Amino acid sequence: MKRIAVLTSGGDSPGMNAAIRAVTRSAIYRGLDVIGFRRGYEGLLDGDGVPLTKSSVGGIIHRGGTMLRTARSDRFRRPEGINEAISRLREYDIDGLVVVGGDGSFRGAWALHEQGFPVAGIPGTIDNDIAGTDSTIGFDTACNTALQSVEKLRDTASSHDRLFIVEVMGRSAGFLALEVAVASGAECVLVPEVPFHLEHLCEKLHYAKQRGKTHSMIILAEGVMSANQLASRLKDTGGYEARITVLGHVQRGGSPSSFDAVLASRMGASAVEMLLEGQRGFMVGYVNQQLTSCPLPTAWESKKPLNHEMMALVEALSI
Ligand code: ATP
């Protein structure tokens, strides 16, 4: 291998820049040239590649977002798109491609692999919903960002004896909601993986009040329903007046935590090493504090289970 490329795809996450830096610097260290494609697969199809050098990836390790920018690309999903992308990669003399993104981006990378092109995946998403790795790049930072807000809201909730609903990201996965709920000592957590029962929630709030609790915090993953919907259902059924906060995109931004910057650096360097060792169509993972690799389809074929011991912990510790 003489030249590799890197791109970021799907939703951005804190630590993607640290991954770009690690891929670039470790590849240069091993004598390779590096091209960065801007705007994910869309930029690849447009031939929007730039040479990455030791210095062009300087001063980015601590920055949120992605210097290569990211995009979603419908063109790329089509069979002609895959073939066109491979022609572009050949035009640039690329021998291997590193894709930083979520499971959708990995499906795209797998399509390139199936056409014989060497690819590696690095899991970058705040959702942490990728099997084959305990943690994805950006998850830890997003948890800390959300936690800071929840702690501030708790000050008001306790001062004014209020019920707060905090809506966090997570359309189909509740990892972020669960982590934040345990870390903030929230009274309830609602996640897409567990069926929602309004009566059960009302009962819980009722008994909490009877036990002398003056305020409660509900952490709601957006995939269950919106905070507005939940607030009006709680009012209609139980007469509860809830204040709502939707954290939104702040959860995706900001400098990576030390955990994410280190994880991204290690995964970026490993992706290059593994490509040079001859691995193909794989994703770098982090399992039991070790860097690992698994076939890319693991990311979407196996469902990463939510930690039910932590779900029970929210119940047990909010008495
Ligand atoms: P996030 O977790 O932040 O949503 P993601 O990588 O899952 O990140 P997607 O929008 O699902 O984000 O996918 C990113 C891009 O990957 C898509 O815009 C598309 O170009 C490509 N992609 C997704 N699924 C496929 C597929 N089945 N085949 C080919 N390409 C795909």
Burial class (CB in 10 A: 0-12, 13-18, 19+), 303: exposed
Task: Please state, rounded to an integer, the average pLDDT across all residues of the chain.
Answer: 96
Give the pLDDT confidence of 131-181 residue by residue, as tens digits.
999 999 999 999 999 999 999 998 888 787 789 999 999 999 999 999 999
Ligand 1 contacts CB of residue 187 (under 6 A)? no
The alpha carbon of 227 and the centre of ligand 1 are apart by a number of angstroms equal to: 27
Q: 3-138+256-301 with 140-252: one CATH topology?
A: yes
Kindly list the distances between the CA atom of residue 40 and the CA atoms of 107, 109, 148, 167, 182, in Å, as whole numbers in the listed order.
13, 11, 31, 29, 35
How many CB atoms sit inside 10 A of residue 242's CB? Answer: 20
Per-residue model confidence (pLDDT) at position 210:
86
Burial class (CB in 10 A: 0-12, 13-18, 19+), 155: exposed
Ligand 1 contacts CB of residue 125 (under 6 A)? yes
pLDDT above 90 (res 218): yes
Amino acid at residue number 136: T
Q: How far apart are CA 203 and CA 208, in angstroms?
A: 8
Contact by Cβ (8 Å): 79, 86: no
Mutation probe of ligand 1 site: the residue of 39, 83, 86, 105 with most atoms within 8 A of C-beta: 105
Class for domain 140-252, per CATH? alpha beta
pLDDT band at 312 (very low <50, low <70, confident <90, very high): very high
The alpha carbon of 5 and the centre of ligand 1 are apart by a number of angstroms equal to: 18
Contact by Cβ (8 Å): 246, 167: yes
Ligand 1 contacts CB of residue 251 (under 6 A)? no
Establish whether this prediction's ipTM goes over 0.90: yes
Ligand 1 contacts CB of residue 105 (under 6 A)? yes
Nearest residue (CA) to ligand 1, atom 3:
11
Contact by Cβ (8 Å): 10, 125: yes
Phi/psi of residue 41, each to 5°? -65, -25
Mutation probe of ligand 1 site: the residue of 12, 73, 75, 107 with most atoms within 8 A of C-beta: 107
* Choices 3.40.50.450, 3.40.50.300, 3.40.50.1370, 3.40.50.970: CATH for 3-138+256-301: 3.40.50.450
pLDDT above 90 (res 64): yes
- Average pLDDT, integer, range 252-262: 97
Per-residue model confidence (pLDDT) at position 276:
98
Enumerate the domain spans of the chain: 3-138+256-301, 140-252
Per-residue model confidence (pLDDT) at position 105:
97
Contact by Cβ (8 Å): 6, 14: no
